[in-house]
Amino acid sequence: MPPTMSRMGDVLAGFHAAWEFESDSVLIRFERGIRTPKLFQALGERRIPHEAIAAVTLSPGKRGTVVLHAVPRPGADPLMEAAAGQLKDGCDPYRLVLPAERETLAEYYADELRAQLTSADSEPTDRYLVAAPEAPLQFKAYDGKASFDGKLVSFRWFWTGASSAKWKAGDQSFPITDLCGIEWRSPEIFEGHLRLLPREAPVTRPGQADQDPAAVVFGLGYGPVHESLPFAASVLAAVRASGPALLTPEGGVATSAATTPAVRRDPADIAERIRHLGELHQAGLITDEEFTAKKAELLAEL
């Protein structure tokens, strides 16, 4: 057994968060200030068991800061599994940014925390060790409202954004027991979306999320990270609790599907996507080159 933390209950406060070191876990409490990332505010606090941590690092940060980083084990945290490496550093809940003058203190706690880890802690887990955000949860996507009550995921389409394919299919409800995972593509990336993965794959599956009734698409101001990612994590945790899920070679729950060949879209849908692309361009979220290239891709699908 590794030694216990020398002073249980000690707190290390940084920018936007404070870590409280306990005998078997680290309790992370996030601030709710105006400059605190919205994802941190949405999470509130998180308890990270020592067995959920693979490694601890301390490195120089930007503008006179140091960063204490607890690296989660593969499969330990549904939030990080759903994020699949898409979170920006500033929104990583496992990073504590501190003033550089606290480096010595941070190094002390990093060493203390490393002493709690074992060689097995670097291996993938067979269950989630960090609690997922609790249902009920909901958020507005570009083409519909997504809701999750703990057992059922529901999509209700918006007439202003949903494709004709989704309107034809009608509003959708998916029992957790019928799912094997999710695919979350950050709204900060063009064509961000949340797609549900059924245990029994349909014979034909739309290649584009905006044509798939098992998906909602994001957009400028729709499906933000602090709303859609906790939602995805909660669904993932419920999927694993409901029965065997698709596992990656590393042992994590499947969070993405194999790419499906592209299908030809309705011209009206293409026009709507180009209009949305223009909004992203005008807002400065994509460059001139990205706008031109993506517009050409969409036109090529006609």
- Whether residues 150 and 92 share a domain: the answer is no
Is the pLDDT assigned to residue 114 strictly greater than 90?
Answer: yes
Quote the pLDDT of residue 203.
Answer: 59
Residues with Cβ within 8 Å of residue 201, at least 6 apart in sequence: none
User: Is residue 260 a part of any domain in this protein?
Assistant: no
User: Is residue 248 a part of any domain in this protein?
Assistant: no
Tell me what percent of the residues of the chain surpass a pLDDT of 70: 83
Quote the pLDDT of residue 257.
Answer: 37
- Whether residues 87 and 16 share a domain: the answer is yes
- Whether residues 141 and 118 share a domain: the answer is no
Could you give the 3-state DSSP secondary structure of residue 170? coil
* Number of domains composing the chain: 3
Note the pLDDT tens digit of each residue in 9-62. Answer: 799 999 999 999 999 999 999 998 889 999 999 999 999 999 999 999 999 999
- Whether residues 141 and 236 share a domain: the answer is yes
| CA distances from residue 188 to 176, 191, 217 in whole angstroms, order as listed | 27, 9, 12
Q: Indicate the average pLDDT of the chain.
A: 86
CATH number at residue 82: 2.30.29
User: Is residue 128 a part of any domain in this protein?
Assistant: no
Quote the pLDDT of residue 4.
Answer: 47
Is the pLDDT assigned to residue 2 strictly greater than 60?
Answer: no
Q: Which residues pair with residue 60 across a beta bridge?
A: 66
Token digits of residue 152: 């059922």
Tell me if the pTM is above 0.75. Answer: yes
Q: How many CA atoms lie within 13 A of 127 on its CB side?
A: 7
- Whether residues 86 and 159 share a domain: the answer is no
- Whether residues 108 and 180 share a domain: the answer is no
Domain that holds residue 293: 267-300
Note the pLDDT tens digit of each residue in 228-265. Answer: 999 999 999 999 998 764 544 334 445 543 333 344 55
Q: How far apart are CA 28 and CA 18, in angstroms?
A: 6
